[in-house]
Structure 1
Amino acid sequence: MKLNAPAIAAINVGARYGIMGEAIPLMATAEWTERLKNFTLQIYDEKGNLLTEGKSSSLLGNPLAVALWIRESLSREGKRLKKDDLLSLGSIGKMIPVKPGTTLCARYIDLDPKGPVEVCVSFFKREEFLAPT
């Protein structure tokens, strides 16, 4: 296997943390299967510049396929997924290096029937984050 950005993202080499927003309640319906398979993720910087965009279908054609692959892989090791386990399914879009002072916003389009969902995160130097106020 050639070690390139997609391969690194797929094996979570660069993953250390995750960002979560409010939960979006899903239902076991054909509509939700299509939503999961076809949503768009856009990443913007603090100035509103689009840095990357991708489709959820880039995750083995459907993020649910990745979840099933994880389940089967764990099963071969004698392990099981449990209710409320959080899974990292891979990356949608290119890797974005960040520096202290960077703010990124992820916009999920066509996932929630109520409209686009946005989650933002700001990065700080550790000493800035832990500094007394």
Structure 2
Amino acid sequence: MRAVSIALALNACLAATMAQAACPDAAAISGFVADWEAKRPAKALAVANVEDATCARGKLVAELHGKLGKIVGYKAGLTAKAVQERFKADGPVSGVLFDSMILKDGARLPAAYGARAVWEADMLLVVKDDGINAVKTPEEALRHLSGMRPFIELPDLALAPSETLDGVQLLAINVAARFGVAGAEVPLKADAATLALLAETKIVATDGGGAVLAEGTGAATLGNPLNAVVWLVQDLAKTGRKLAAGDLISVGSFSPLTPPKPGQQITVRYEGFAGTPKVSVQFE
């Protein structure tokens, strides 16, 4: 039933957006996917506004759905001010996460895992129940989450450097989702202390020798990662999509988007949480 509901939601989203947007045609989408699979720098998709980009994302996700496994969650991108400025955007955008994108803690993969590979410190929040689809505040969102998972997202900016990659184009290419390395789930309590902790946690990225590469706090994502959840719920509702128990939510960047280096190990830790949870990836 879950697979059927996802397929119906994707079809509904695609039909709705195609009806009102100047969408890239099937050949353009297939060409982008061919380049994406081959890790070749791609041409930008022909999108002029958010409506066009939403339609393009719908077509792209529909084509990737048969290649990358089931949908396991969504990502809220451009939730940090610095990243919005980089991509000349005035607000967040959302993308889809597929099963094959989520790698285990300690994963090893080539530094050139995509056409324009970058890494960033992120965080996954795990949906507890479908009551999350009605939330309007961070406090309400917390009651419908079961836990947090440390997460190093591994996006692929995909386009050739000569192409323009702004917020609209990023939306069209599914917010550059490619891979991510996820740690074990840390249970979350629905209380004021956890609400504060999610905003105040210090998120530190280090290399294999322990040198600090980047650091930030949970507040970098719209003031609190839970605000990213509230925004995502509202954004998904615009195209008739809903979150379900077990879905993963990537809340956005806590560090600059940085190209990986061959032989580099990245570890991200979350200070303030019991046991200081962390997650690592090794680039080859």
Letter in 2 for 1:6: V
- The answer as to 2:279 corresponding to 1:119 is yes
Question: Residue 86 of structure 1: which of 245, 248, 251 is its match?
Answer: 248
The one-letter amino acid paired with 1:38 is E
Q: Which has the larger radius of gyration?
A: 2
The SS at the match of 2:231 is helix
Map Cα deviations across residues 82-108 of structure 1 (whole Å, 9 max, x no partner): 111111111002222102211100011
Q: Aligned with 1:122: secondary structure?
A: strand
Question: 2:220 is matched with which residue?
Answer: 58
Q: 1:16 to 1:102 in 2, by over 3 A?
A: same
1:17-96 → structure 2 map (5 Å cutoff): 17-96=179-258
Q: How many Å apart are 1:5 and its aligned residue?
A: 6.3
Query: 1:57-91 CA distances to partner (integer Å, 9 max, x unpaired)?
Result: 01000100001100110011111011111111110
1:37 offset after TM fit, Å?
1.3
TM-score using structure 1 length: 0.80
Structure-2 separation of matches of 1:32 and 1:61: 14
State how many pairs are aligned: 118
Residue 62 of structure 2 corresponds to which residue in structure 1? none
1:33–1:5 distance in 2 versus 1, CA, 3 Å: closer
Asked if the contact 1:5/1:95 (under 8 Å) is kept, the reply is no
Matched residue type, 1:22: A
Identify the residue that residue 262 of structure 2 maps to in structure 1. Answer: 100
Question: Which of the two has greater strand per residue?
Answer: 2
- 5+ unaligned residues in a row in structure 1: which ranges? 125-133
- Report which of the two has the higher share of helix: 2
TM score, norm. by length of structure 2: 0.39
RMSD of Structure 2 on Structure 1 (CA): 1.9
Return the letter of the residue paired with 1:115.
Answer: G
Percent identity, aligned pairs only, is 34
Q: Equivalents in 2 of 1:53, 1:27: separation in Å?
A: 25
Q: Displacement, 1:46? A: 1.0
Structure 2 CA distance for aligned equivalents of residues 48 and 78 of structure 1: 45
